[in-house]
A and B are shown apart, each in its own frame.
Chain A
């Protein structure tokens, strides 16, 4: 399953995680936290670069989350944006200007002071055409001006009001001007040895082996407890699990089959605790509404009702995840939980097809309408086992009711080109969601030609809701708008919404004070009792 990540604005260590079952959270002992020991983590591939502006992979954000800091961060419990490098901020009444004040005594890890000119430099770099960061630049389109008023105050000016502007400013990693201003930005050596302002500083990067960070003793904020964070690069998940079992790693993400079949032994559970959380995002099948077969909501709803989503979830992912009925994150207030996903009901689905006028008029075993046969191509990315199985099940189901579906796997580069050309009937893929989602990019009718609205969804009411919500700064009002939007999604079924996945994690039990927050695990509060410490 291909994900399109927007991890830049997920401020936190891992992705947004939510607890669903009461899990064995280890209570901290009576003793007070002590420093020492390392945390050895698994990453599945090498980051391309550790330059936070040009990087596009999730590995970079996992690592740089320890090294670089942003003006604001999300509170672990409330998910609100709270001060980090900034001590305060003010928003003008017209919502076009944001004035940030930096904390006093901020320092880069090389001892130089961190000032407002670093902040200005960061945003000017992102806006600079010759910097290889198109994926970020698109967010700052309406950011007109960034100016330093003095050493600790920065003013941002926007051309239009937008409720996510604060997150855009607050979520960007601030980079040191005195390092990056020398030489070419894209090829800058700091991409291989970052210097940030965060609690951990970079030690070394052994290509293909490991990346090591150590405690920054001159950190401006609360000193971290663990001495080192080591990221082991192991590309194969089977091997990674073996390495974990050997005690050479402390923390890794598990696959559903590993959770169910390979980590159930008593020996494993003595050494490791397992955690689960929902990941903000969902998988879906998109129906190209430009095609005569899919331009009727009844047909799309029928398609959804031909899918036994509960059974698929149980069989393919051991039930880890949840069937969703709309485009928002299940755990956010935007998602209306009173809307139940359409049930699996092939009889009713077939009746819906009849209602929509798709009947087999020439008795050739395939339904047709106005001379068009109900045949379509289902496109997926090759190598995705999940897509492979879902498509096979659907094809089988549809063949019983006179709908002919063919399956076409494509490699990712071709798949994205086909999306851009709008040249498909149906696709299966997934979206990752930021904490506060804005449906504009995927659902607004202005985005059908070149944007991410590749299925060509256009609905007047939905457009109005999107436009209004973008300039609505009161969260409660936005929630009401979005719940209405969710209802439209459910009725129209532009997508068949499939599943929100669960993230599964195993962690060595020697770590204390492990809490599961909506934003995931926060490693910065962990510590290990002196008697259990493993590394010096």
Chain B
């Protein structure tokens, strides 16, 4: 079985999986208690409605949202539209769902990309270092620091940073809300970029430091595994310099599992951090999904769920391909 056949098989498998995922999601969301039509009416309570009137209005709103049809027909209609990438309009403001997502996706992806990149950039050397220094006092100090970082809740750190570095009472080093300063629209590109990056500093820090601990432990474990192997001993016995042994022979092999993890990060790109986004007033995906679920905005929830499902499926496929590419001992036959 060659790569092409394998790919075609895997891509065809995505179709039934995708159908299953969306069907279950659709049912779970629509059958969970809470009714968007009744919730809309609630906002105008203390009025002068009679019982009959209330019922009529809720029914009318259901018709307006297309919620009066049986659920399997609704799923059919939804699926037919989704095939053409039409996710319908939001109940909240009647704007096309795709437009709302497109508005918020760039900043979320940007934040995630920067923080994932930083996590990897820092975690790999930290992991390698503590593996090489295993058992020394330096390794222990590093471990303690990482665990402390790991256990600090990021909303707490965010608020402290804002209090102490965000002007007002103490140091005024960083802007503390949004992703750019007002009135920057007309500025030159470079200063606009600088202003934007300056705004991202604190949120990126809050999103990064926690992940750093997890990944560097992972790297350390992988590295320790490899260092015990015979070929490392052989390399050292040949008299190779220690740097070469560690970075060429050991690190390349222990990095494989970490690389393959990257495939699974793809769907995570879509979901913003609700907490960090609301603290720093960043209009990203986290806020959007959270509000949509709370207000039972079915079209928005379904669109986000569908896109993450697709990304997850693609991510798993990429992971599998990366495995084969990184480790010659794994072949497509073994998978089949």
* Stretch from B45-53, B78-86, B324-332 that touches the partner: B45-53
**In the bound complex, do residue A136 and residue B94 qualify as a contact, i.e. CB atoms below 8 Å apart?**
no
Q: How far is B178's CA from A431's CA once the two chains are assembled, in angstroms?
A: 33
A166 to chain B, nearest CB (A): 13
What 0/1 readout, one digit per residue, does chain B (53-95) give for beta carbons within 8 Å of chain A? 1110110110010000000000000000000000001011111
Taken residue by residue from 503 to 521, chain A's Cβ proximity to chain B (1 for < 8 Å, 0 otherwise) reads as: 0000000000000000000
Residues of B within 8 A of A450 (CB): 51-52, 54-55
Is A414 positioned at the interface, with any CB of B under 8 Å from its CB?
A: yes
A186 CB within 8 Å of chain B: yes
Q: B35: CB under 8 A from chain A?
A: yes
Residue A26 CB within 8 A of the other chain:
no
> Which residue of the partner chain, among A135, A417, A442, contacts B44 with CB atoms under 8 Å?
A135
Contact digits for A444-470, partner B, Cβ 8 Å, 1 yes 0 no: 001101111000000000000000000
Give the docked Cα–Cα distance between A120 and B97 (Å): 32
Binds A, one of B2-10, B162-170, B307-315: B162-170
Bitwise, B271-310 to A at CB < 8 A (1) or not (0) is 0000000111111000100000011100000000000000
A235 with B169: CB separation less than 8 A: no
Q: Is B228 an interface residue (CB 8 A)?
A: no
* CB < 8 Å neighbour of B39 from A186, A238, A413, A452: A413
Task: Decide yes or no whether A70 CB sits under 8 A from chain B.
Answer: no
Whether A531 is near chain B, meaning CB under 8 Å from some CB there, is no
- Smallest CB–CB gap between A449 and chain B, Å? 5
Q: Pick out which of these stretches binds chain B: A240-248, A312-320, A366-374, A472-480.
A: A240-248
Whether a CB of chain B sits under 8 angstroms from the CB of A48 is yes
* B40 part of interface (Cβ distance < 8 Å): yes
- Whether B42 and A132, one on each chain, are in contact in the complex, defined by CB atoms closer than 8 angstroms, is no
**For B110, what are the chain A residues with a Cβ–Cβ distance below 8 Å?**
none
B42 & A239 in contact (Cβ 8 Å cutoff): no
Q: Is the CB of A139 within 8 A of B278?
A: no
Contacts of B166 in A (CB 8 A): 239, 242, 246
- Which of A204-212, A341-349, A394-402, A494-502 contacts the other chain? A204-212
Report Cα–Cα, A413/B279, bound state, in Å: 24
- A243/B176 contact (C-beta < 8 A), A236-B280, A417-B34, A438-B48 known: yes
The complex places the Cα of A132 from the Cα of B41 at a distance, in Å, of 10
Interface string of A167-211 (1 = CB under 8 A from B): 000000000000000000011000100000000000000011110
Over the window 1-31 of chain A, the binary record of Cβ atoms lying under 8 Å from chain B Cβ atoms (1 yes, 0 no) is 0001110100000000000000000000000
A308 contacts chain B at the CB level, 8 A cutoff: no
CA distance A134 to B315 in the complex (A): 43
Cβ of B153 < 8 Å from any Cβ of A? Answer: no
Which residues of chain B come closer than 8 Å to A233, judged between CB atoms?
281
* Interface residue from A242, A412, A438 paired with B167 (Cβ < 8 Å): A242
**What are the residues of chain B within 8 A of A413 when measuring CB–CB?**
33-35, 39, 294-296
Given the complex, which residues of B lie within 8 Å of A4, measured CB to CB?
A: 42-43, 45-46
Do A239 and B281 form a contact, CB below 8 Å, given A49-B93, A186-B94?
yes
| A416–B53 touching, CB < 8 Å | no
Known pairs A134-B60, A451-B54; A245 contacts B169 (CB<8 A): yes
A contacts with B, residue count (CB < 8 A): 65
Whether B40 contacts A132 by the Cβ 8 Å rule is yes
Which listed residue (A130, A135, A187) contacts B43, Cβ 8 A? A135
Query: Does any Cβ of A come within 8 Å of B98's Cβ?
Result: no
Size band of the B side of the interface?
Answer: 35 or more
Q: Does B103 contact A (CB under 8 A)?
A: yes
Most chain-A Cβ atoms within 10 A of its Cβ — which of B42, B54, B166? B42
Q: Which of A54, A132, A433 has the most CB of B within 10 A?
A: A132
Q: Is the CB of B282 within 8 A of A6?
A: no
Interface membership of chain A positions 386-420, coded 1 if the CB is closer than 8 angstroms to chain B and 0 otherwise: 00000000000000000000000001111011001
Check: B159 CB closer than 8 A to any chain A CB: yes
Contacts of B294 in A (CB 8 A): 411-413
Question: Assuming A48-B93, A134-B41, A134-B58, is B177 touching A441 (CB within 8 A)?
Answer: no
Q: Contact string, A423-437, partner B, CB cutoff 8 A, digits 1/0?
A: 000000001111001
Query: Is A155 an interface residue when CB atoms closer than 8 A count as contact?
Result: no
Taking CB atoms, residues of chain B closer than 8 Å to A56 are: 40, 43-44
B172 at the interface (CB under 8 A from A): yes
The answer, among B39, B162, B178, B296, for a CB contact under 8 Å with A209, is B178
Cβ contacts A116-140/B at 8 Å (1 or 0 each): 0000000000000110101111110
Cβ of B118 within 8 Å of any chain A Cβ, yes or no, is no
> Does B167 lie within 8 Å of A238, measured CB to CB?
no
Chain A residues, CB < 8 A from B64 = 129-130, 132
Nearest-CB residue, chain B, relative to A168? B48
B273: min CB distance to chain A, Å: 13
Which residues of B sit under 8 angstroms from A98, Cβ to Cβ?
none
B316 at the interface (CB under 8 A from A): no
- B38 interfacial contact with A, CB 8 Å: yes
Name the contact of B47 in the complex, choosing from A129, A139, A414, A449 (C-beta under 8 A).
Answer: A139
**Given contacts A54-B94, A239-B280, A416-B38, are A138 and B44 in contact (CB under 8 A)?**
yes
Task: Assess A246 versus B162: contact at CB under 8 Å? Given A234-B281, A413-B34, A451-B50.
Answer: no
Contact: B176 with A239, CB < 8 Å?
yes
When the two chains form their complex, are residues A209 and B182 in contact, meaning their CB atoms are under 8 A apart?
yes
Evaluate contact between B295 and A6: CB separation under 8 angstroms. no
Please, could you name 26 A-B residue pairs with CB atoms under 8 Å apart, sorted by A? A4-B46, A48-B92, A49-B94, A54-B93, A56-B43, A56-B44, A132-B91, A132-B94, A134-B44, A135-B42, A138-B47, A138-B49, A191-B93, A191-B94, A234-B177, A235-B279, A242-B163, A246-B166, A246-B167, A246-B172, A413-B35, A438-B48, A441-B46, A441-B47, A447-B51, A450-B54
CB-CB nearest 6 A-B residue pairs = A208-B283, A135-B44, A413-B34, A450-B51, A245-B168, A56-B43
8 other A-B residue contacts (CB within 8 Å) besides A135-B41, A238-B162: A49-B93, A56-B40, A233-B281, A243-B177, A420-B38, A441-B49, A442-B46, A452-B45
